[in-house]
C-alpha cells in the first residue's frame, strides 16, 4: 500500500500553526531566541575580526559579549586569542585559567591552549617555526 503525501500546502499549514502559538504565555522562548540571535551576531562579527586580523576589534567584541555572558566559552577563547595575538600571553593564560575553574572537565584542553599560545609567541619572536618532528 502506497501513501501519497501532498506537500503543496505544508508551508501554509505550518505558518498557521506558528501563528496559533501564544508567545506571550511562553516568554522563555522569546528570551532563548534573543540569546541565540546575540550569540550568532557575536560569532559572525568575531569571525570577521579574526579574518581581518583585527585583534583589537576581537578583544572589544569578546569583552562586550562577556559582560553579559561571562561564562561563554567561545567568547573567552576569543578574548584569550586576542590577548595572545597582541603579545599579552599572561592575560591570555589568565583567561584560560578562569575557564579551567568554570569548566574543570576541560582543564587539559585549556592547558594545551596555553602551550600553543607560548609556542606561537616564541615562533613570532624568533621568526621561525618550531620543529616537532621528533614527536611523530
Q: What is the pLDDT of residues 12-48, one digit of tens each?
A: 655 665 556 555 666 777 677 787 888 899 999 999 9
pLDDT at 2 over 60: no
Inside any domain, residue 135: no
The pTM (predicted TM-score) of the whole model is 0.67
Inside any domain, residue 13: no
Inside any domain, residue 80: yes
The tens digit of pLDDT for each residue in 87-105 reads 898 899 899 888 888 888 8
Query: What is the number of domains present in the chain?
Result: 1
Whichever domain contains 120, its CATH number is: 1.25.40.10
- Residue 104 has a pLDDT of 86
The tens digit of pLDDT for each residue in 115-127 reads 877 777 777 776 6
Inside any domain, residue 12: no
Enclosing domain of residue 117: 28-128
Inside any domain, residue 121: yes
Segments in 21-72 forming alpha helices (H)? 27-52, 55-68
Give, to the nearest 10 degrees, the angle between helix 27-52 and helix 55-68.
160
Amino acid at each position: 500500500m502506497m501513501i501519497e503525501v501532498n506537500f503543496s500546502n505544508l508551508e501554509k499549514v505550518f505558518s498557521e500553526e506558528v501563528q496559533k502559538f501564544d508567545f506571550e504565555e511562553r516568554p522563555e522562548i522569546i528570551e532563548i531566541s534573543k540569546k541565540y540571535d546575540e550569540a550568532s551576531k557575536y560569532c559572525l562579527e568575531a569571525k570577521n575580526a579574526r579574518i581581518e586580523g583585527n585583534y583589537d576589534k576581537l578583544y572589544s567584541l569578546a569583552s562586550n559579549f562577556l559582560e553579559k555572558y561571562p561564562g561563554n566559552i567561545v567568547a573567552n577563547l576569543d578574548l584569550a586569542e586576542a590577548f595572545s595575538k597582541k603579545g599579552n600571553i599572561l592575560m591570555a593564560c589568565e583567561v584560560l585559567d578562569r575557564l579551567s575553574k568554570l569548566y574543570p572537565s576541560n582543564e587539559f584542553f585549556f592547558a594545551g591552549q596555553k602551550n600553543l599560545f607560548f609556542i606561537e609567541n616564541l615562533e613570532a619572536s624568533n621568526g621561525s617555526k618550531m620543529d616537532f618532528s621528533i614527536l611523530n
